[in-house]
Homo-oligomer: A and B are copies of this chain.
Amino acid sequence: MNVQQALAARISANKFDTAHELTPEEVEALVAAAMEAPSAFNIQHARFLVVRDPAARAALQQVAYGQQKVRDAAATFVVLGDTRGAERLPLIAERSREAGLLDAAGAAGFAAKGQDAYAGKPAFAREEAIRSASMAAMALMLAATERGLASGPMIGFDPEALRREFHIDERYLPVMMIAVGRAAPGNWPRKPRLQPGEALVDDARPGLTHAFS
């Protein structure tokens, strides 16, 4: 399945086969695909809490205002973003040094430059965590589609209840949840999209407001 086909085939599923399970290998493969997404300074802010156990699913369903897909799907991936990801830049830089991409001085300089970019900017770091985690989420959904799995992204949940119930440290921001499993009958078809011309201004400098109205 090529990229264009996966983009066109993906639907936001609500109905899942309750008998279907994901293997730990499938969970790891989906997370590995998600981690291929880019991130500023390669910080890799995205983290994944994968909820598969029936009791944990029931708890997560409560947090998600009762959404049935959390209970029905083989797994729900809670996608988190590390709001303090820049603190881990020395480790990230060290991995690039080990891979031969940077020498020791280059790695130190890279880590320092990245940490500088976020110093004293918690709002920027928070939004960066959302960006990175969202790009990773998109990669995960396309990888799932390619594997014949359905996915249902959700932002309808109580983030504070999620933190409490699953003991998520405050540094990790819940960005979205994605139910993943085998589709059951009854899903909505793909919803229509705006035409490119409705979402695109090609080189027009003044008047974006009007162009996108």
Point out the residues of chain B lying under 8 angstroms from A171, CB to CB.
209
The smallest C-beta distance from A23 to any residue of chain B, in angstroms, reads 11
The smallest C-beta distance from A174 to any residue of chain B, in angstroms, reads 11
Enumerate A1-35 residues with CB–CB distance to B below 8 Å.
1-4, 6-8, 10, 12, 24, 27-29, 31-33, 35
Point out the residues of chain B lying under 8 angstroms from A132, CB to CB.
134
Contacting pair B169 A208 (CB below 8 A): yes
The smallest C-beta distance from A178 to any residue of chain B, in angstroms, reads 10
A184 on interface, CB distance cutoff 8 Å: no
Q: List 17 A-B contacts (CB under 8 A).
A: A3-B33, A4-B143, A7-B142, A29-B196, A36-B193, A38-B153, A48-B199, A50-B201, A50-B202, A80-B208, A99-B191, A101-B189, A131-B155, A134-B134, A135-B135, A167-B205, A167-B208
A47 on interface, CB distance cutoff 8 Å: yes
Residue of B nearest to A146 (CB): B3
The smallest C-beta distance from A140 to any residue of chain B, in angstroms, reads 10
Bound together, the chains give a CA A168 to CA B11 distance in angstroms of 31
The smallest C-beta distance from A64 to any residue of chain B, in angstroms, reads 14
What does the 1/0 interface line of A95-108 toward B look like (CB < 8 Å)? 11011010000000
Point out the residues of chain B lying under 8 angstroms from A119, CB to CB.
none
A207 on interface, CB distance cutoff 8 Å: yes
Contacting pair B131 A176 (CB below 8 A): yes
